[in-house]
Structure 1
Amino acid sequence: MLNDFVEQDAPLPVPGAKDLIPQQKKVLQAARNAGAMVVYIADHHMPDDPEFDMWPAHAVYGTRGAEVIDELSPRKNERVIPKRRYSGFFGTDLDLTLREHDIETVVIMGVLTDICVNYTSAGASMRDYEVYVIEDGVSSDSDEAHEFALKHMQKVHGTTVVKSDEFVQAFQ
C-alpha cells in the first residue's frame, strides 16, 4: 500500500487501511519464506493525470505519497510495477513479468477492494491466472462496497477469497 492511501493527512486516505498492515505483513512473510515471487503494483500518476478529474491528486511520481509504506517495503529482489489505471495489468508489464517466471497464481492485497483490487482480479482472471484475494488484506471506503466487490470477484472472476490466516497456513 502507498503512503497516499494510508496516512490520514494524505489526499486519498482509505478508512481502515492501517488495520490491514498486520495481515499483509503476515502474508508477505509467508510468501517470502516459501520462496514465492513478490511483486508490488503501485499507483503512480503524472501531475496532470486525467484521473485527477475524478479523484484528488494522489500517488504522483516522485512524491512520498507514491511510495510503498515503510511497514511493507519491498525487498531488493522484489519488483515494483507502476500503474496509472485501476488494473495492475492495463498498460504495465505485469503479465509479461509473471509469465517470464512461470507464475500461474496471483495473490492480491491492497486498496480499494471495489476498484483496483477488483480490476486487477478481473485482469488476472481474464489472463487465466488462478486468483486469490486476501479478505482481511483488502479494504474499501465502505463496508458495502467491500462486501459487494468480494462477492463480485468470486462470482464473476472465479477469484478465491480467503482470510490471511488460512492463506498463511496453506504455505506452511
Structure 2
Amino acid sequence: MPRHVLMVIDMLKDFIDSNGTLNCGKNGRKIVPFVVEKVKEFMNQQEPIIFIMDAHSPEDPEFSRFPIHCVYGTPGASLIDELASLIEEYPFAIKVPKTRYSGFYRTNLSKILEDLNPVAVHIVGVCTNICVLYTVEELRNRDYRTIVYSKGVASFDEEAHLWALKQMETVLGAEIVE
C-alpha cells in the first residue's frame, strides 16, 4: 500500500502559544484545529507523522536576527498541548529536532524519508515563508511529491505567507490545496 507522510513543522509553544517568544499571532492559533484534524486523520490511517521541531542552543547565531526562541529543553520548544497529548502513545510519531530553517539541515530527516519511501509528503505548520518554505524546497529538490495545506500553514506576515505559497506552487512545484 502506498505510504503517505504528514510533516508537522514547528507547531511549538514559542510559535503558537500567545505567550510564546516568537508567536505567529492569531494566524498561528487559527490553524491549530486544522492541524489537529490532519494529525487525527493520519493517525486513523496508521500513517507516519514527522514533527519537525526547532531546538536551539542558548547561544544560537540565529538569535542575532530573531528573539531567543525554542531553546532545546525549554517549554517553548515543546509541541503545543493540543498535539502533545494527542500523539503521546502514537507509535508512528517521529520527532526531528532542527537548528535551522530547513528540516533537513544537519538532521536525519533524509534517512527517515528514505526509509519510509512515501508517495507523498503532506505539510502543515509554521512559518509559511520561513521553515515551511525551506523544508518544502528541500523536499522538492529530492523529488518528493509535496502537498501543502493552505489552511494548515501560517505566518506572522500575511504578505510573506501568500508569497511563499505562490513560490512553493509555481517555482518548486508543490501542490497547494485547502
TM-score (norm 2): 0.88
AA partner of residue 44 (structure 2): N
1:100 pairs with 2:111: no
- Point out where structure 1 has 5 or more consecutive residues left out of the alignment: 164-172
1:131 pairs with 2:146: yes
Q: Give matches, 1:86-97, under 5 Å.
A: 86-97=101-112
| Identity percentage of aligned residues | 39
Give the structure 1 partner of residue 94 of structure 2: 79
1:45 to 56, 59, 75: 56
2:45 and 2:73 map into 1 onto residues whose CA distance is 32
Cα RMSD of the aligned pairs, angstroms, is 1.0
1:149 pairs with 2:164: yes
Give the Å deviation of 1:29.
1.0
Give the structure 2 partner of residue 170 of structure 1: none
1:104 and 1:40 map into 2 onto residues whose CA distance is 18
AA partner of residue 52 (structure 2): I
Give the structure 1 partner of residue 39 of structure 2: 28
AA partner of residue 86 (structure 1): Y
Give the Å deviation of 1:75.
3.5
Give the structure 2 partner of residue 14 of structure 1: 24
Give the Å deviation of 1:70.
0.9
2:52 and 2:106 map into 1 onto residues whose CA distance is 12
2:34 and 2:19 map into 1 onto residues whose CA distance is 23
1:63 pairs with 2:74: yes
Give the Å deviation of 1:107.
1.2
Structure 1 stretches of at least 4 aligned residues deviating more than 6 Å after TM superposition: none
Give the Å deviation of 1:87.
0.6
1:150 and 1:102 map into 2 onto residues whose CA distance is 25
